[in-house]
Amino acid sequence: MKTIKVGVVGIKRGMSFAFGAENAGMKLVALCDIWEEKLKEAGKRLGVETYTDYDKFLEHDMDAVVLANYFHQHAVFAIKALKAGKHVLSETMSNSTIAEGVELCRTVEKTGLIYMLAENYPYTVFNMEMKHLYKSGEIGEVTYAEGEYNHPMPPESIASLSPGINHWRNWIPPTYYCTHAIAPLVYITEKMPVKVNGFSIPFQEINSKTARRGDTGCVILCRMDNGAVFRLFGLILPGHSNWYRIHGTKGAMEITRGPGYFGPGLIRVWHEAWTREKNQPLERTYVPEWPEKGDLASKAGHGGGDFWVNWYFAEAIRTGKQPFLNVYRAVAMSSIGILAWKSALEDGKPYDVPDFSKESERKKYENDDASPFPDAQTSKRLPSSILGFIKPKPEDIAFARKIWKKMGYKGKDL
Instruction: Report H helices in 298-349.
Output: 305-319, 327-345
369 exposure class (CB count in 10 Å sphere: 0-12, 13-18, 19+): middle
**CATH class entry, domain 4-117:** alpha beta
In the predicted structure, residue 258 carries a pLDDT above the cut 80 = no
Half-sphere exposure of 100 (CA within 13 A, CB side): 25
pLDDT score, position 2: 81
Structural domain boundaries in the chain = 4-117, 122-293+327-365
Classified as helix, coil or strand, 219 is strand
Residue 263: band (very low, low, confident or very high) from pLDDT cuts 50, 70, 90: low
Any idea which fold 122-293+327-365 has?
Dihydrodipicolinate Reductase; domain 2 (3.30.360)
Tell me the C-alpha to C-alpha distance, in Å, between residue 153 and each of 158, 159, 204, 261, 400: 6, 10, 14, 13, 14
Residue 14: band (very low, low, confident or very high) from pLDDT cuts 50, 70, 90: very high
pLDDT score, position 275: 87
Residue 414: band (very low, low, confident or very high) from pLDDT cuts 50, 70, 90: confident
pLDDT score, position 261: 59
**Could you report the per-residue pLDDT of 285-309, keeping only the tens digit for each?**
999 999 999 999 988 888 889 999 9
| CA pair distance 151, 156, nearest whole angstrom | 14
- Which uninterrupted H or E stretch holds 246? strand 241-248
In the predicted structure, residue 268 carries a pLDDT above the cut 70 = yes
Rounded average pLDDT over 31-54: 95
Rounded average pLDDT over 179-198: 98
The pLDDT mean for the chain works out to 95
Q: What is the pTM of this model?
A: 0.96
Residue 89: φ, ψ to 5°: -115, 115
In the predicted structure, residue 264 carries a pLDDT above the cut 70 = no
Number of neighbours of residue 270 by Cβ within 10 angstroms: 15
pLDDT score, position 410: 84
Rounded average pLDDT over 110-129: 96
**Could you report the per-residue pLDDT of 357-409, keeping only the tens digit for each?**
999 999 999 999 999 999 999 999 999 999 999 999 999 999 999 999 999 88
Sign of the alpha-carbon torsion through 105, 385, 159, 398: positive
Residue 206: band (very low, low, confident or very high) from pLDDT cuts 50, 70, 90: very high
**Could you report the per-residue pLDDT of 220-233, keeping only the tens digit for each?**
999 999 999 999 99
Chain-centroid distance, C-alpha 66: 14
Instruction: Report H helices in 25-73.
Output: 36-46, 54-58
pLDDT score, position 1: 65
In the predicted structure, residue 262 carries a pLDDT above the cut 90 = no
**Could you report the per-residue pLDDT of 277-287, keeping only the tens digit for each?**
888 999 999 99
- Taking the CA atoms of residue 209, residue 210, residue 211 and residue 217 in that order, the dihedral angle to the nearest 10 degrees is -120
% the chain with pLDDT above 70: 98
